[in-house]
Amino acid sequence: MNTAELVKIFTTFNVVYPKFMQEGKEELMLDVWHSMLSQYPYELVKYAAETHIKSSSFPPTIHDIIKHIREYEDMGKVDPMSAWGMVCKAIRQYGYYRQAEAMQSLPADIKSVVAAMGWQTLCASENEIADRAHFTKAYEAMQKREKQVAMAGNLLQTIAEAGRLKLNS
């Protein structure tokens, strides 16, 4: 997101929340907000801003906007317990000997955790409680790692773009 796009969002905030802009601090606010949100696409920040406006009578903070962005990014992701339910269903449906079919029935992120734990190991196990605990811990760690990798990619892109802007100036 560039500064001009952030100005559009600020204009909207100023209409909805008349005291949003602090007198004499407009440029500083723009710089700080831009540095915190520049790695996100404009449409995503705009969506987060609109979500905040619809849900709060108070002006947003940067934290509020990032919280709405994260909620949007997490939509459609399978929570760990639902993912474990999918694994249990696949175990019941395909069993020990039909691993290829079972793995094909699972989403890629769940499949990678199951592969790491071992399909036959899960099928032959007699301690479902421990297996569930190990699976959910591994699944949550994988989701966290994916989010960190995505954020690092966004940060590297922002740094690269900032470097190109300085070179062109």
CB atoms within 10 A of CB 69: 19
* Number of alpha helices (DSSP H) and beta strands (DSSP E) in the chain: 9, 0
- Whole-number pLDDT of residue 70: 84
Give the domain ranges of the chain: 3-75, 80-148
| % pLDDT > 70, the chain | 88
Three-state SS annotation for 49-86: HHHHHHHCCCCCCHHHHHHHHHHHHHCCCCCHHHHHHH
Q: Does domain 3-75 have CATH number 1.10.8?
A: yes
| % pLDDT > 90, the chain | 63
Contacts of 51 (CB under 8 A, 6+ apart): 68, 71, 72
1 DSSP 8-state letter: -
The most confident of the ranges 58-67, 69-78, 104-113 is: 58-67
18-23 LR contacts (CB < 8 Å, sep 24+): 19/59, 20/59
Kindly report, residue by residue over 124-138, the tens digit of the pLDDT: 999 999 999 999 999
140-145 LR contacts (CB < 8 Å, sep 24+): 140/80, 142/109, 142/112, 142/113, 143/77, 143/109
Kindly report, residue by residue over 4-44, the tens digit of the pLDDT: 999 999 999 999 999 898 888 889 999 999 999 988 889 99
Range 40-64 average pLDDT:
93
Residue 164 confidence (pLDDT) above 70? no
CB atoms within 10 A of CB 20: 16
Q: How many CA atoms lie within 13 A of 119 on its CB side?
A: 21
pTM score, whole prediction:
0.54
| Sign of the dihedral defined by the CA atoms of residues 151, 153, 159, 165, in that order | negative
- Whole-number pLDDT of residue 71: 83
